[in-house]
Chain A
Amino acid sequence: MHPIRLLHALFFCCVAPAVLLAGCDSLDTTGGLSHQGGLQTAALPLVAPVPAGGPATTVEPEDHLQVVYPVEIFLPWGDGHGEIGWLPPAQERAAMAPASLAVDRDGSLWIVDQVNSRLVHLDPAGGWLGTVDCPPGGADLALGSDGRLYLLSLANHRVTVLDGGGVVDTLHIPLELVHISGLVVNERHHVLLIDAYQQTYDLGGPSIRMGWPSHLRTRREGIVTASGGPRVKAVLSQGVAELLYPEPGGDREAKPDPPADRVVLEDTDSVASIVVLDSEPTGEVVLLLEFFQGERVVRTLRRVDEVGQPLAEVVLGPPPIAFPFREFAVAAPGVILQLFPQADGLTIRSYDLGRVR
């Protein structure tokens, strides 16, 4: 049995911002963003992970928005108590490691330990709460409003519903949906699937559902998130990142793409890619941005307001060891958790992009 260690990263606070920002056209290496559009000139501070100031406290359910996470939680590789699974990279094969992270209503963490076919449950401070066995192939995890866990398995085309006692239901994903990338469970327990094209499908709930292949008709443009904000889609247009807010019910064919629904993001002139991580009812959006710096890639988390102006930004460290997984989870508005696999174990990093405490 290995003890759980809590580590506090120095890298981000001391090294990453200055080094990684060098040569990044749209970012100000003095520690702020240079807004070139003329709408805003004030520099915003780059936000580094904020130490929690001590271990997180246990909170009552529904109070998870007030949970303060440590900057880093560490779990060593293994298959026992306090450990999480890892198949190290070897010649001619890819690595396999924790696949996804979800935050429970009480702020505790669930991690898909796909190597060991289980879900690992941690308290907000990283304390080991236990495991729940799950089918193999887990790729994404979501919490339902019913308190159950919804595990997406792409390899097996299933959504497995679990509670603390194990598997309670299985939904089969139509194989026509070949590019599913994640899932969200809405307030009615409908399982919403997100695909590679930033579209959302509704598998329905347990009482009434679409006959096949009618689920294809539920397609909606844009990504939904658990935070309940508007569906949103991120695109690059002539080298600049934009957010599209599809009309309710609108799909790809029907949407006329009205200018009013299009928000141009500030400071994205040299952006390489953009991904929506969260969309809040306030209209604020959390994004993962990539910028090329020579032959290397620099990534940032950025929170923007409803008109695309940056509110806060944090530069991420070098990418983790490469394998396909769901790297980020939203713990609360503006609070992002990251799975960060390293040689000796898994680090869960937290980033505070300016939430209101």
Chain B
Amino acid sequence: MNQRTTRLTVALLFTVVALPLQAQTVSRSTVMTRAQTYTYHPWHCSAQNLTGTSCPSGYRSVYLVGDHLGPPYDWGGYMSIDTYDKGIRDGYGAGSYSSDGILACTVGLDCSGFVSSSWNTGHYTTSSIPTISQTITRTDLLAGDVLNIAGYHVILYSHEQENGLPFLYESAGYNVHATYNEGWAYVDEFTPRRYNNITGTTVGDLLGTAANPIEITSFPYTHNGDTSTSLSDMFDYCADDWTKRETGPEVIYRVEIDTPGDLVLAVRDGSGVDIDVHVYERLNEVDCIGREHEDLVQPVDCGEYFIVADTWVNDSGTEYPGAYTLTVSFTPDTGTPCGAPRPDYLGRLGTPCAFEGDETLPFCNPNLGTTVCLATGDTATDQSWCSVECETDADCIGAMPGGCCLDIGYESNYCLIEEFCSTSVDPEPDPAVEGDDAPDAGSDPEPIPDLSGDPDLLPDPDLLPDTVVQPDQQTPDIPSPDGQEGEMVTRNEGCGCGMVIDRRQGGGRSMLPLLLGAMGGLWLVRRRRGREC
């Protein structure tokens, strides 16, 4: 039996076995959660997935090696997320089109496969979807309904955006994705349909997911959960330890802390199950501040935290979901006010912070007033510091001696460290500078390049008439765009909460002298241009 026949048989089998499932009802919440789980599912495309280990020689995926969201469009494809992940790990091809034929060597979902998976019906095609759904009007559309053209395409409807455009989910083009720009004209020819066994009129957010975490309102707290039944699968790693794979489903809790202290957490699970416990400051993998296999004592300040019971995955990709018991207690630091620095707090204003070049550094701590990690590049020799949006230098100097508040682009002023703030007032333009190409008064003897062709290297021009930034003693060199090419390594991430680590090779020089030189260069350029005009 060739590959195409095998795949077709599988598809037909799904249709047959799916029939008894018609009696099962499904809520709109479940439908939309399933759809979003596919849409925002992170996966990594390897070189093997480009050609497929067992695919015909003519097959070639349209993907690039790297990290992606949403499984590929795959002609005739219908599968669970777990099956998809396994296929990718095993070197199956990433998606296919009708021109490839129905292949058994590829993974992904086609449009009806995606809708069928979201409805949990077994695989129905655009032509057979009418047998399990009824026609409705456009004004009746609710989340979980579809727009269908038999023999062509089917799209899952979600909601209407505030500008009136429909928000849709579909497997089309390259992958399973959300479609939100196309307007009603995009679905003008489609027939609105409603699955016969869908229930409810609204979409609630399932308990234990990011949209509706389980609230912890008192201590001690105990909860018996089960990650194998959770529909949340957005966290795959914790910034506290990027080596641990937590790519399985998780259950999310939320807790409000009104006095500094220690969160004391314990998770216990059974045989064949491995659930780890994590603490997040925000629902983002990079904001995971603590994780442990079983027991964790996490110092916390006042504020909101999320506790996550996540499924561990071993190196071969085997997940260990299942039942667990989570206990949470809290030991307050009596007499310590909210916001008081604690010895184990990191990420203050001006201190080094995690960036692409050094991910071992701490994250900027919003509880300490820092919101942003600025970096001069992305290699280990580059520099980073925690910063915050500011209005004046005074916002920065207190915590960053010598620091200043400057616009680094696009409406944003941020605190910069002293090295970027070596300024001097130049009330009168230097005639030598205006008159010829003499270097900036008092600057180094190195020629300052004209960077007019690289305005991206320049600070806000509005700042410059009153401020002259002295160039660094090094001659600024403008990076070659090619020098920034490199490999991207990405931690797996989930629904809106992932992290990208960009490891670029061969670009190890510091950007600091470059920026300083660029600032001085701009000053010269502007004066020259002003004279010419």
The residues of B that contact A248 with a CB separation of less than 8 Å are 411
For residue A129, CB closer than 8 A to chain B, the reply is no
Beta-carbon contact of A290 and B164 below 8 Å: yes
A179 and B180 in contact (CB under 8 A), knowing A87-B97, A145-B455?
yes
For residue A322, CB closer than 8 A to chain B, the reply is yes
Q: How far is the CA of A96 from the CA of B97 in the complex (A)?
A: 10
A179 and B178 in contact (CB under 8 A), knowing A161-B481, A248-B411, A297-B184?
yes
Stretch at the interface among A22-30, A75-83, A151-159: A151-159
Beta-carbon contact of B456 and A89 below 8 Å: no
The residues of B that contact A155 with a CB separation of less than 8 Å are 62-63, 68, 70, 173-175, 177
For residue B441, CB closer than 8 A to chain A, the reply is no
The residues of A that contact B284 with a CB separation of less than 8 Å are 176, 213
Beta-carbon contact of B164 and A324 below 8 Å: no
Q: How far is the CA of A83 from the CA of B495 in the complex (A)?
A: 39
Beta-carbon contact of B181 and A275 below 8 Å: yes
A214 and B163 in contact (CB under 8 A), knowing A188-B456, A196-B181, A208-B515?
no
Beta-carbon contact of A169 and B484 below 8 Å: yes
Q: How far is the CA of A199 from the CA of B70 in the complex (A)?
A: 22
The residues of A that contact B153 with a CB separation of less than 8 Å are 89, 93-94, 322
A323 and B172 in contact (CB under 8 A), knowing A161-B481, A170-B485?
yes
For residue A295, CB closer than 8 A to chain B, the reply is yes
Beta-carbon contact of A175 and B177 below 8 Å: no
Q: How far is the CA of A182 from the CA of B181 in the complex (A)?
A: 10
Beta-carbon contact of B163 and A187 below 8 Å: no
For residue B518, CB closer than 8 A to chain A, the reply is yes
A273 and B376 in contact (CB under 8 A), knowing A157-B69, A205-B457, A235-B163?
no
Chain A minimum-CB-distance residue to B173: A96
A92 and B409 in contact (CB under 8 A), knowing A176-B284, A211-B374?
no
Chain B minimum-CB-distance residue to A249: B411
Beta-carbon contact of A208 and B376 below 8 Å: yes
Beta-carbon contact of B184 and A154 below 8 Å: no
For residue A202, CB closer than 8 A to chain B, the reply is yes
A136 contact from B64, B164, B408, Cβ within 8 A = B64
Q: Binding site of A, secondary structure by majority: helix, strand, loop or mixed? A: loop
Most buried by B among A87, A145, A155: A155
Beta-carbon contact of A208 and B374 below 8 Å: yes
The residues of A that contact B515 with a CB separation of less than 8 Å are 207-208
A residues 322-356 touching B (CB-CB < 8 Å): 322-324, 326
Q: Type the 1/0 row for A65-81, where 1 means its CB is closer than 8 Å to any CB of B.
A: 00000000000000000
Q: How far is the CA of A170 from the CA of B482 in the complex (A)?
A: 9
For residue A209, CB closer than 8 A to chain B, the reply is yes
Q: Type the 1/0 row for A169-187, where 1 means its CB is closer than 8 Å to any CB of B.
A: 1101111101101100011
Most buried by B among A94, A271, A272: A94
How many B residues have CB within 8 A of the partner chain? 101
Beta-carbon contact of B99 and A87 below 8 Å: yes
For residue A260, CB closer than 8 A to chain B, the reply is no
Q: How far is the CA of A121 from the CA of B66 in the complex (A)?
A: 28
For residue A63, CB closer than 8 A to chain B, the reply is no
Stretch at the interface among B259-267, B296-304, B331-339, B498-506: B498-506
A172 and B500 in contact (CB under 8 A), knowing A156-B68, A196-B180?
yes
For residue A210, CB closer than 8 A to chain B, the reply is yes
For residue A90, CB closer than 8 A to chain B, the reply is yes
Beta-carbon contact of B482 and A169 below 8 Å: yes
For residue A261, CB closer than 8 A to chain B, the reply is no
Beta-carbon contact of B173 and A136 below 8 Å: no
Q: Type the 1/0 row for B36-77, where 1 means its CB is closer than 8 Å to any CB of A.
A: 000110100000000000000000001110111110010110
B355 contact from A211, A275, A292, Cβ within 8 A = A211
Q: How far is the CA of A136 from the CA of B39 in the complex (A)?
A: 19
For residue B110, CB closer than 8 A to chain A, the reply is yes
Query: Number of contact residues on A: which range applies?
Result: 35 or more
Q: How far is the CA of A92 from the CA of B458 in the complex (A)?
A: 50
Q: Type the 1/0 row for B86-99, where 1 means its CB is closer than 8 Å to any CB of A.
A: 00000000000111
The residues of A that contact B496 with a CB separation of less than 8 Å are 176, 178
Beta-carbon contact of A146 and B453 below 8 Å: yes
Q: How far is the CA of A272 from the CA of B165 in the complex (A)?
A: 8
For residue A135, CB closer than 8 A to chain B, the reply is yes
A324 and B186 in contact (CB under 8 A), knowing A168-B481, A189-B456, A208-B511?
yes
Chain B minimum-CB-distance residue to A140: B181
For residue A137, CB closer than 8 A to chain B, the reply is yes
A residues 201-221 touching B (CB-CB < 8 Å): 202, 204-214, 217-218, 220
Beta-carbon contact of A187 and B488 below 8 Å: no
For residue B404, CB closer than 8 A to chain A, the reply is no
Beta-carbon contact of B373 and A89 below 8 Å: no
For residue A319, CB closer than 8 A to chain B, the reply is yes
Beta-carbon contact of B185 and A175 below 8 Å: no
The residues of A that contact B454 with a CB separation of less than 8 Å are 146, 189
Chain A to chain B contacts (Cβ below 8 Å), 17 pairs = A92-B75, A92-B125, A93-B110, A94-B73, A136-B62, A155-B173, A178-B495, A190-B410, A207-B456, A207-B515, A208-B515, A213-B284, A213-B286, A248-B411, A272-B184, A290-B184, A297-B185
Shortest Cβ-Cβ A-B pairs, 5 listed: A211-B373, A273-B164, A189-B456, A94-B172, A155-B174
The interface of chain A, by Cβ under 8 A from chain B, is 87, 89-94, 96, 135-137, 145-146, 154-158, 161, 168-170, 172-176, 178-179, 181-182, 186-190, 192, 196-198, 202, 204-214, 217-218, 220, 233-236, 248-249, 271-275, 288, 290, 292, 295-297, 299, 318-319, 322-324, 326
